[in-house]
Amino acid sequence: MPIIMKDYQWTESETRLDLSLPQKGIRSNKIDVMVTNLYVKVNYSPYFFDVHLKHEIDDCKTRVVMADNTITLHLIKEEPILWETLVNPASKDSSRRKELVAAAYKYHEEKVKSDTDKRANVKAEQNKMALRTAMDVDSGEKERIEAVKQAERDKVAKEMDEWQNLDDDEKERQYLKANKTRRQPEDLETNASEDHTTEDVSNDTTIVSDSEKSKSTVAEDNLSHNEADERARKFEKIKHNLANPLKSGKDKTKAEKKPSKEEKPMWETSGPRQQTEITVSFTPRFFPSAARESTAADEEAWFEKNVKAQTVLKAKDADTKEDERNPVWLSDKAGVFYKMGNFPAAINAYSEAIKISPKLPKLYINRASCYIVLNLYDDAVIDCTRALDLLTPPVEANRLSRVRTLAKRGSAFCQLGSLNRALEDYELASKLSPDNEPIKRDLEVLRAQTGDNALLQEQSTITVS
């Protein structure tokens, strides 16, 4: 049988009504409060309080404060008038009271359903926005890659067009210039062993201006017929060496004996050289440092222990149940351990869930909470950073998760003494959630501490100087 509370107090103004009830030795999470536009109910075992209000209130603006063993309800009136009495006179009739209670519960159920549907619609809209943002990021990356490919294709096409538009003399000059460095040492020694006349002939074969061509033509007319044939023969030999730098002597003989169906100038046989990629492979090594004889024994011992550990882990995995391989089940189990105060067990459960699903940021955030309770602040910073990396792209759907993660990492930085980095995280969290009062209070305290530290550092610098 519930005990009706009658020791309540209330005050009013034209726009507001404050109702105070005693909180008799019960925790706040055990108290049930229900407020509608015309009905207020407060219930915690074995006490019960309800009242049918005289006029309507704005239940959306109602605020409940539990402090100093007192439950205070701040109610905002719909109309700015003085009530003079709190209770609706019609509620004194038992039959009418039942109707009022039924109407209040029906109103409350409809409001809860409406709020639930509204939150579901907002969440669905946020998920759509997050998906749309991710798709935009992917399409932008694809467009960038396609633009790079198209630029390369245009570059190659332009080079081919420029090559095709060159005349034969210019093609010959560019081809000889590009292949001069590809001659083999054997060909160079062979050409060096020729007499000085050969070098003069090879030098004379360089493309020159029209005036120099005319001079060389006059000089060649003065030579005898045999000397002109000799120079032509040596010129053909040099051109052959430049065009076939990698062929051996036997291949040259075969190439000379083999008749060609269609003879073309050597500068028209191929286009510009294409770029290629060379894959370089290195010996795989697990340790980041270089191999040393002094640490070889330690590395071998580590590998033996690691192999044993992997063997034991595989044996355990073979015997695990299906539920224990479910990350959601492991996360719920870790939450139970956290509420019980068994934080090491919660960390183990979260770690197993992370092994199965390493892309869930919620697992890293919850494990960071366990690390903070156990004063393992470095591990908490690592988990929070990993969670922030996974909460991308930054959209409204993951805003609260980012706020929670930044606050946890800022708290860990504070404990580690990195006040500046903690201040950055708290300022970013405050920008994302400007109505969060705990973050505002922590940010003010942190700003005061960083200001005091900066003043001390400035004073110490002045003293030392």
d(CA 246, CA 182): 8
Determine, yes or no, domain membership for 172: yes
Confidence label for 300 from pLDDT (cuts 50, 70 and 90): confident
Cβ-contact 36, 59 below 8 angstroms: yes
* 341 within domain boundaries: no
Looking at the structure, do residues 176 and 83 belong to the same domain, yes or no? no
Q: Cβ–Cβ contacts within 10 Å for residue 407, how many?
A: 24
Q: What is the pTM of this model?
A: 0.39
DSSP state string for 133-174: HHHHHHHHHHHHHHHHHHHHHHHHHHHHHHHHHS-HHHHHHH
pLDDT at 190: 52
Contact 410, 432 (CB under 8 A): no
**Is 197 contained in some domain?**
yes
Which pLDDT does position 321 carry in this prediction? 60
> Does residue 112 sit within a domain?
no
Residue 127 lies in a domain: no
- Does 158 map to a domain? no
Q: CATH number for the domain including 364?
A: 1.25.40.10
Classify residue 107 by burial, with Cβ atoms within 10 Å: 0-12, 13-18, 19+. Answer: middle
- Domain contains 145: no
Amino acid at 465: S
Domain boundary among 65, 92, 119: 92
For 215-243, letters b (16+ CB in 10 Å) and e give eeeeeeeeeeeeeeeebeebeebbbebbb
User: Which of 38-47, 116-125, 196-205, 251-260 has the weakest average pLDDT?
Assistant: 196-205
Q: Which of 255, 277, 295 lies at the terminal end of a domain, its last residue? A: 255
| The total number of residues written for the chain in this structure | 465
Our count of domains for the chain comes to 3
What is the residue whose two structure tokens read 């105060």?
341
Between the CA of residue 459 and those of 417, 448, 462, 465, what are the distances in Å? 20, 17, 5, 10
The whole-chain average pLDDT of the chain stands at: 77
Q: What is the pLDDT of residue 182?
A: 54
Residue 262's pLDDT band (cuts 50, 70, 90): low
**Structural domain contains residue 233:** yes
Residues 368 and 454 in one domain: yes
Predicted local confidence at residue 9, as pLDDT = 87
In angstroms, the CA 365 to CA 409 distance is 10
Are residues 69 and 22 in contact, defined by beta-carbon separation less than 8 angstroms?
yes
Which comes out higher in pLDDT, residue 243 or 56?
56
Does 387 have pLDDT greater than 90?
A: yes
Task: Tell me which of 290 and 59 has the higher pLDDT.
Answer: 59
Instruction: Supply 105's token pair.
Output: 């519960």
- Of 92, 112, 128, the residue that ends a domain is 92
* pLDDT tens-digit map of 335-383: 999 998 899 999 999 999 998 888 899 999 999 999 999 999 999 999 9
Full domain range(s) for residue 395: 359-464
